[in-house]
Amino acid sequence: MYDDSYPSIPSGRGNPYRRCVSCRRTAPDINGEVERHYSWCAWRRERIAAHAFRHLNFRVSWSKEDSVFVARVDEHPDLTGYGPTPPTALKELMEAMAVKLDDWPQHTSEAAR
């Protein structure tokens, strides 16, 4: 999967290339491929989760009891994200999904059929 929108910083020491903020791999090493970031790279995990789960239905609602926004995936109600704003709740949900990423390919391939 091609995506070169990762946050980057200069490599330094006179090197003209930039590197991923999360995993520190250089642009030539990555060459625009998400899979070329290290497997533990937070940006990579978030992008793969976003791509793998693009067919899922997300909902954000206000919780009076907790006084926060709650983000959920209709197909997987056990996953939730909480935050003071809807975008923050969705970001938290995406992080929870990234943690579950290793368990989900079987579910996403079944849902895509």
Would you say the pTM of this structure is higher than 0.95?
no
**Tokens standing for residue 57:** 């239905």
Q: For the chain, which residues make up each domain, given as ranges?
A: 1-45, 53-113
Q: Is the dihedral of CA 55, 72, 104, 22 positive or negative?
A: positive
pLDDT digit of tens for each residue in the chain (113 aa)?
A: 788 888 898 988 888 899 999 999 999 999 888 888 888 888 888 887 777 777 889 999 999 999 999 999 998 888 899 999 999 999 899 888 877 765 655 444 444 43
- How many angstroms separate the Cα of 84 from the Cα of each of 37, 58, 79, 80? 31, 17, 17, 14
